[in-house]
Amino acid sequence: MKKKKVVIRLKDVWKTYRLGEHQVHALRGLSLDVYEGEFLAIRGPSGSGKSTSMNLVGCLDIPTKGKIFLDNINIADLEESDLAQVRGKKIGFIFQKFNLLPNLTAKENVMLPLIFQNVPEEERLDIAERLLNEMGLKDRMNHTPGQLSGGEQQRVAIARALAVDPEVVLADEPTGNLDQKTGEKIMDLLKYLNRKKGKTVVFVTHDVDLAEHADRIAFLVDGQIVKTKTKKGGKKK
């Protein structure tokens, strides 16, 4: 069997924050491999370090100690400007609170990351319109976030995450601000991106049922992965 390519590797990663005279260890020697084309859930209770782990998996932050490899490059050695370029091309982010700019239309929000990648304006427009059409938002692309429902805003956020055609899509509690029915639709959309579009998808959640959508679940407790479970029929390492 062909060995799966590791796209992101965390090796003995610690993240420590200083609060006054005290140190808080959000992550305590976390090690995790993310494989090309997998659908991975990182599950843990509140305070377990899920959001911190997502920030580090997504190269939004660097570890206090330990190593994080993105395509065999240790990001801890990169300057922020170089890190931003690597991150911008490789990783798309979907946030629980959507993080859409309120004064921009859906189309303009999707175009935004393309500006930072120096994509010409006409191409930016084409990409944004195509992605919003795929998300079922053809008639909503000129609306601002305040004119959209929660589910529509999350679909705009997904379109924005896909704008640079990233290898990896990361979602932080992607259904946390949505009702159950809308949340299921968003999970179906993430599955579509994984199964049909070939994207590596990683999402963090505290929700037991939501985690079961994944092919593999990594269980996070007190800043450490304590075990992983590959579902029957899921993609193996």
pLDDT in tens, 176-207: 888 888 888 889 999 999 999 999 999 999 98
pLDDT at 237 over 50: no
Convert 48-74 to b/e letters by CB count within 10 Å (16 or more is b).
Answer: bbbbbbbbbbbbeebbeebebbbeeee
Q: How far apart are CA 29 and CA 127, in angstroms?
A: 40
DSSP classification of residue 179: -
Per the CB < 8 A criterion, the answer to whether 6 and 35 are in contact is yes
Higher pLDDT, 235 or 202: 202
pLDDT for 43 equals: 93
pLDDT in tens, 207-229: 898 899 999 999 999 999 999 99
pLDDT for 236 equals: 41
pLDDT tier at 81, thresholds 50, 70, 90 = confident
pLDDT at 233 over 60: no
Place of tokens 């259904």: 175
pLDDT at 235 over 80: no
Kindly state the percentage of the chain with pLDDT values over 90: 61
| Average pLDDT of the chain to the nearest whole number | 89
Higher pLDDT, 47 or 130: 130
- Please list, in sequence order, all residues whose beta carbon lies within 8 angstroms of the beta carbon of residue 195, skipping any fewer than 6 positions away: none
Q: How far apart are CA 135 and CA 137, in angstroms?
A: 6
pLDDT for 149 equals: 93
Q: Which CATH architecture has domain 37-61+79-230?
A: 3-Layer(aba) Sandwich (3.40)
pLDDT at 234 over 90: no
pLDDT for 71 equals: 77
pLDDT in tens, 31-56: 999 999 999 999 998 889 888 998 88
Per the CB < 8 A criterion, the answer to whether 53 and 230 are in contact is no
pLDDT for 142 equals: 97
Strand partners, 64: none
Plot region of 219 (φ>0 → left; ψ -120 to 50 → alpha; else → beta):
beta
Kindly list the domain boundaries of the chain, sorted by start residue: 37-61+79-230
